[in-house]
Amino acid sequence: MNPQDRSARAYVLVEIQPGKEKEFKDDILSRGLLVDSKEERMDFVHGAFDFVIILCGAMKEIDRRIIEIRKSPFVVKTETLI
């Protein structure tokens, strides 16, 4: 089995521009980057990062969605934990 086809879970830590929490959340949801509402979620958190996004699925698909998240104009930086 190709490792890219295995089911995985990724925790994407996202720092966004100050005051852009609602805009970022709306952007991610409107682009359909969370596909499995039972397994995936996006939580606003306090600390060094502003959001934790949980993505599930094949690594190739997770990689694609992480790249799309990073394209949001509100993102300052991300860190991904697989």
Distance CA(31)–CA(23), nearest Å, equals: 12
**Number of neighbouring beta carbons within 10 Å of residue 79:** 11
Structure confidence at residue 45 (pLDDT): 97
Fold type of domain 3-81: Alpha-Beta Plaits (3.30.70)
Query: Which residues are registered as beta bridge partners of 44?
Result: 51
Domains of the chain, residue spans: 3-81
Identify which has the larger pLDDT, 6 or 55.
Answer: 55
Write out pLDDT tens, residues 18-74: 999 999 999 999 999 999 888 999 999 999 999 999 999 999 999 999 999 999 999
Return the closest-CA partner of residue 61 out of 4, 11, 12, 14.
Answer: 4
Structure confidence at residue 40 (pLDDT): 96
Structure confidence at residue 69 (pLDDT): 98
Residue 78 clears pLDDT 90, i.e. is over it: yes
27 near 72, Cβ under 8 Å?
yes
- The model's pTM is 0.90
